Structure 1
C-alpha cells in the first residue's frame, strides 16, 4: 500500500505541487507530428501538467508552443489564424511567432511597443514523429533526451496518441506489472487457455505474446541511471532454462515493452491529475504497418477510439464495450491490448487511492516505480540531480529471451549499464 500523503505527492502534477515541480524538470511529448500535418494548419489545444497551451506549425513548418490565452485580453489562441509566419488572435489581431515574438498589434500599432513585448513561449523539439516541449524553469532546462526510435526511418516507426481519462500513475503501474500480462491479456498471451493447454502465440508483432504459461513470475530489480529495469523470470518446459522478460522504467513515466519484431515505447504523459496522454511508438528493423498495430491494440473500433481526437472513448456508460457473450471465448470480453489496459486503468477511477490495496511479491516493480518517483519528487524539491534527466536514452531497450540457469539477466541488455550522462 501507499499512504494517502505519498499518493497525493505522486499523482498531483499541477503548478505549485511537489510532483508538478518534478515533472516540469523534463521534456514532454505534447502532440504527434501528425496532429500538425502541414504549415499553417489549424492550431492544437494542449493540456499538460494541469496547464493549457496552444501548439501550431507556422508557414515555414516550425512548431511553436505558447500559453493558450492571448497575453492581450485572454482570448484563446486555439481559435486563431495561423498565417504569414505566426498565429493571430481573432479578438484584436495580435500576432505571435513560434518563439513568442509579438509581430503585430493592430489596435496599438506602435513598433516600439511590440518590440519590447513577448508572449510566453516554450522550447520545442520535433523528433521521432512527436513534438516535445519543456515548460519548466528556464534556468533548469536539461539536455534533450534521445530515444532509439528517433533514429529509424519514418516507415520503420508508428506513433500513436491515446487520451485516457485517469491519472498517469495508474497506466504507468499497469505497464510495469509483468504478472498481469498472462492474465488480463490471456487470449493473446496464452492461446489454448480454455482447454488448459498452452500454445505459444506466433504473432511476432504482439507484445503480449508470452513464451511461457507461468502466471507467477519471479522478479529481480536493479536501479539504473534512467530509473530501473527488472526481469520477470518464468518457468519453461526446458530444464535449467527460464524465459526472461526485461522491461525498463524511465523516469518520470516511460517504459519499453518487447515484441519479437518490434519495441513498444510507451510514455504516459500527465495532461492533469485525472487525464493522461499515452504516446505509443512502435519501431523496429522492418517497416511497421499502422493499420495492423491499430487492430492489434483494439483501436480500430470507434466504440473504443476516436482517431481524429486521439481519445479513448469507451467508458462505464457502455461497460467499456465489454461483451459478456464473447467472454465464452475471450477472457475479458474486450478486444485488443490497449483496450484491455485502458479499461482496467479507467476502472480504478480517475485517481486511485493506493492506501487500500494489498500487494504480493509479483508487485515488486510497481512498488519500485513508487519508490523511484518519490525519490525524484524529493530530489527535485531539494534541487538535486534526477534520474534520466538529460540522458541519451538510445541504449535503453527491452527483451524477451531464454536465460540459462546461472546466467546474469543483466547481460541480456548490457547497454543499460552503459547509458551515459549527456
Structure 2
C-alpha cells in the first residue's frame, strides 16, 4: 500500500506540486507529427501537466508550442489562423512566430511596440513521429533524450496516441506489472487456456504473446541510470531454463515492452491529474503498418477509439463494451491489448487511492515505480538531478528470451548499465 500523502505527491502534476516540479524537468510528447500534418494546418489545443497550450506548424513546416491564451486579451490561439509564417489570434489579429516573436499587432500598428513583446513559447523538438516540448524552468533545460525508435525507417515504425481519462500512474503501473499479462491478456498470452493447454501465440507483433504459461513469475529488480529494470522469470518445461522477460522503467513514465519481433515504447504523459495521453511507438527491423497495430490493440472499433481526436471513448455507460456472452471463450470479454489495459485503468477511477490495496511479491516492480518516483521528487526538491534526465536512451530496450539456470539476467541487455548523457 501507499500512504495517501505519498499517493498525492506522485499523482498530482499541476504547477506548484512536488510531482509537477519533477515532471517539468523533462521533455514531453505533446502530439504526434501526424496531428500537425502539413504547413499552415489547423492548430492543436494541447493539455499538459494541468495547463493549456497550442501547437502549430508554420508555413516553413516548423512547429511552435505556445501558451494557449493570446497575450493581448486572452482569446484562445487554438482558434487562430495559421498563415504566412505564424499563428494569428482571431480576436484582434495579433500574430506570433513559432519562437513567440510578435509579428503583427493590427490594432496598434507600431513596430516598436511589437518588438518589445514576446509570447510565452517553449522549446520544441520533432523526432520519431512525435512533437516534444519542454515547459520547465528555462535555466534547467536538459539535453534532448533520444530513443531507439527515432533512428528507424518510418516504414518500420508506427506512432499512436490514445487519450485515457484517468491518472497517468494507473497506466504506468499496469505497464510495469508483468504478472497481469498472463491473466488480463489471457486469450493472447495463453491460447488454449480453455483446454488447460498452452499454445504459444504465433503473432510476432503481439506484446502479450508469452513464451510460458507460468502465472506467478519471480521478479528481480536492479536500479539503473534511467530508473530501473526488472526481469520476470517464468518456469518452462526444462527445469534448467527459465523464460526471462526484461522490462525497463524510464523516469518519469516510460517503458519498453517486448514482442517477439518488435518493441513497444510506451510513454504515459499526464495531461492533468485525471487525464493521460498514452503514446505507443512500435518499431522493429521489418515494416509494420498502422492498421495492424490498431487492430492488435483493439482500437479499430469506433466504440473504443476516436482516431481523429485520439481518444479512448469506452466508458461505464456500456460497461466498456464488455461482452459477457463472449467470456465463455474470451477471458476478459474485451478485445485488444490496449482496450483491456485502458479499461482496467479506467475501472480504478480517475485517481486511484493506493492506501487500500493488498500487495503480493508479484507487485515488486509496481512498488519500485512508486519508490523511484518518490525519490526522484525528493531529489528535485533538494535541487538535485532526477534519474534519466538528459540521457541518451537509445540503448534502453526490452527482451523476452530463454535464460539458462545460473546465468545473469542483466547480461541479456548489457546496454542498460551503460546509459550515458545525451
Q: Given the two structures, how large is their TM-score scaled by the length of structure 2?
A: 1.00
- CA distance in 2 between partners of 1:3 and 1:420 (Å): 34
Give the C-alpha shift of residue 75 in structure 1. 0.2
Give the C-alpha shift of residue 33 in structure 1. 0.1
What CA deviation, in whole Å up to 9, does each residue of 1:63-120 have, x standing for no partner?
A: 0000000000000000000000000000000000000000000000011000010000
Matched residue, 2:247: 247
What CA deviation, in whole Å up to 9, does each residue of 1:144-200 have, x standing for no partner?
A: 000000000111100000000000000000000000000000000000001111111
- 1:269 match: secondary structure: strand
Matched residue, 2:290: 290
Matched residue, 1:305: 305
Matched residue, 2:4: 4
Moved over 6 A (4+): none
Matched residue, 2:334: 334
- 1:242 match: secondary structure: strand
Give the C-alpha shift of residue 366 in structure 1. 0.1
Matched residue, 2:363: 363
Matched residue, 2:386: 386
Give the C-alpha shift of residue 421 in structure 1. 2.2
- CA distance in 2 between partners of 1:193 and 1:154 (Å): 37
Within 5 Å, give how 1:49-60 maps onto structure 2.
49-60=49-60
- 2:46 match: secondary structure: strand
- CA distance in 1 between partners of 2:52 and 2:128 (Å): 24
Give the C-alpha shift of residue 260 in structure 1. 0.9
- 1:207 match: secondary structure: coil
- 2:373 match: secondary structure: helix
- CA distance in 1 between partners of 2:321 and 2:306 (Å): 14
- CA distance in 1 between partners of 2:215 and 2:98 (Å): 51
Matched residue, 1:224: 224
- CA distance in 1 between partners of 2:190 and 2:243 (Å): 14
Give the C-alpha shift of residue 344 in structure 1. 0.1
- CA distance in 2 between partners of 1:252 and 1:299 (Å): 26
Matched residue, 1:35: 35
- CA distance in 1 between partners of 2:198 and 2:261 (Å): 22
Give the C-alpha shift of residue 238 in structure 1. 1.4
What CA deviation, in whole Å up to 9, does each residue of 1:342-379 have, x standing for no partner?
A: 00000000000000000000000000000000001111
Within 5 Å, give how 1:5-84 maps onto structure 2.
5-84=5-84
Q: Are 2:99 and 1:105 aligned? A: no
Give the C-alpha shift of residue 14 in structure 1. 0.3
Aligned length: 422
- 2:318 match: secondary structure: helix
Within 5 Å, give how 1:333-352 maps onto structure 2.
333-352=333-352
- 1:10 match: secondary structure: helix
Give the C-alpha shift of residue 239 in structure 1. 2.6
Within 5 Å, give how 1:76-225 maps onto structure 2.
76-225=76-225
Give the C-alpha shift of residue 289 in structure 1. 1.3
What CA deviation, in whole Å up to 9, does each residue of 1:192-239 have, x standing for no partner?
A: 001111111111110000000000000000000000000000000013
Mark the runs of 5 or more structure 1 residues left unpaired by the alignment: none
Q: Given the two structures, how large is their TM-score scaled by the length of structure 1?
A: 1.00
- 1:350 match: secondary structure: coil
- 1:268 match: secondary structure: strand
Give the C-alpha shift of residue 385 in structure 1. 1.5
What CA deviation, in whole Å up to 9, does each residue of 1:253-303 have, x standing for no partner?
A: 000000011000000000000000000000000011110110000000000
